[in-house]
Amino acid sequence: MEKREELYAGKAKSVFYTDDPERFVLVFRDDTSAFDGEKKEQLNRKGMVNNLFNGFIMEKLEAAGVPTHFEGVLSDTESLVKKLDMIPVECVVRNVSAGSLCRRLGVEEGQELTPPTYELFLKDDALHDPMVNESLAVSFNWANEAELARMKELTYKVNDVLKTLFDEAGMLLVDYKLEFGRSGSEIVLGDEFSPDGCRIWDKETRKKMDKDRFRQGLGDVIETYEEVGRRLGINFH
């Protein structure tokens, strides 16, 4: 597989063409940002940690029957992925109240949400990823009703798999976001799953073990990401 020119550079990842028009190389960089890019830093080893973390999670999800774009880790910071036609809507599940939910509704952080909540957000940094609904998604042709139903079904399936995985490792999967795309007529999980795109707390102490450590200036960001990975059984070298 030959890596070619860059297609796209996001806040923390870059996408490169390959000699196969249906495959891309996803490169995880050490760049870290928060608040729609207002706070930025380079964190040593972050690209490697998130790449290996994402590969581990994607393999777990594939094994549980969730179709993903992930095809394999190529190097410490690179993975091979299938080309998708991405849907510009993020699916968010919340198992415990935190973050924007608390600010929006004035509820306390740390409440268990039973059943978990499910929300949709338009992926648009300039608009600060506004909350949307299925009616808007259909009206603006971001996705059709069948695609939205499949995205919801897969998002909850991911929750069933990962909530248990983290729980058995002594952690709470507080919330997370997922992005999906089309591969032909199939809805497939895209983007990544790493501590950058979810909230993870220690089950006993409620220590924050995710990107909130960067957002809130708590320090030891990558060291904590590595601790999460080690508890799950990921081997960082």
Q: Which of 82, 116, 149 finishes a domain? A: 82
Q: What is the pLDDT of residues 146-184, one digit of tens each?
A: 999 999 999 999 999 999 999 999 999 999 999 999 999
Residues 6+ apart with CB under 8 A from 118: 91, 92, 93, 152, 155, 156
pLDDT for 141 equals 98
- CATH number for the domain harbouring residue 99: 3.30.470.20
Evaluate whether residue 236 is within a structural domain.
no
215 plus 100 within the same structural domain: yes
Are the beta carbons of 202 and 169 closer than 8 angstroms? Answer: no
Would residue 228 count as lying in a domain? no
Length of the chain measured in residues = 237
Distance of alpha carbon 21 from alpha carbon 160, whole angstroms: 34
Helix axes 221-232, 46-63, angle to 10 degrees: 30
What pLDDT sits at residue 192?
A: 97
Q: Is residue 230 part of a domain?
A: no
Mean pLDDT (the chain) is 95
Question: Would residue 188 count as lying in a domain?
Answer: yes
Tell me the per-residue pLDDT of 133-154, one tens digit each, with 9 for 90 and over.
999 999 999 999 999 999 999 9
Q: What is the pLDDT of residue 35?
A: 80
- The string of pLDDT tens digits covering residues 21-52 is 999 999 999 998 888 767 889 999 999 999 99
Q: Are residues 99 and 177 in the same domain?
A: yes
The closest of 89, 209, 228, 108 to 165, measured between CA atoms, is 228
Kindly state the tokens that stand for 172. Answer: 């709470």
CA distance 65 to 63: 5
Question: Do residues 174 and 209 lie in contact, with contact meaning Cβ atoms separated by under 8 Å?
Answer: no
Q: Which domain holds residue 14?
A: 3-82
Which DSSP category does 108 fall into? P
**Distance of alpha carbon 86 from alpha carbon 125, whole angstroms:** 16
The per-residue pLDDT for 62 is 98
226 located within any domain: no
The 10 Å Cβ neighbour count of residue 72 is 12
Shared domain check, 102 and 32: no
* Pair 47, 75 in one domain: yes
Based on the structure, what is the number of domains in the chain? Answer: 2
Q: Do 103 and 198 sit in the same domain of this protein?
A: yes
Same domain, 38 and 57: yes
Same domain? For 7 and 70 the reply is yes
Domain boundary among 38, 54, 82: 82
Instruction: Measure the CA angle with vertex 57, ends 53 and 58; round to 5°.
Output: 115
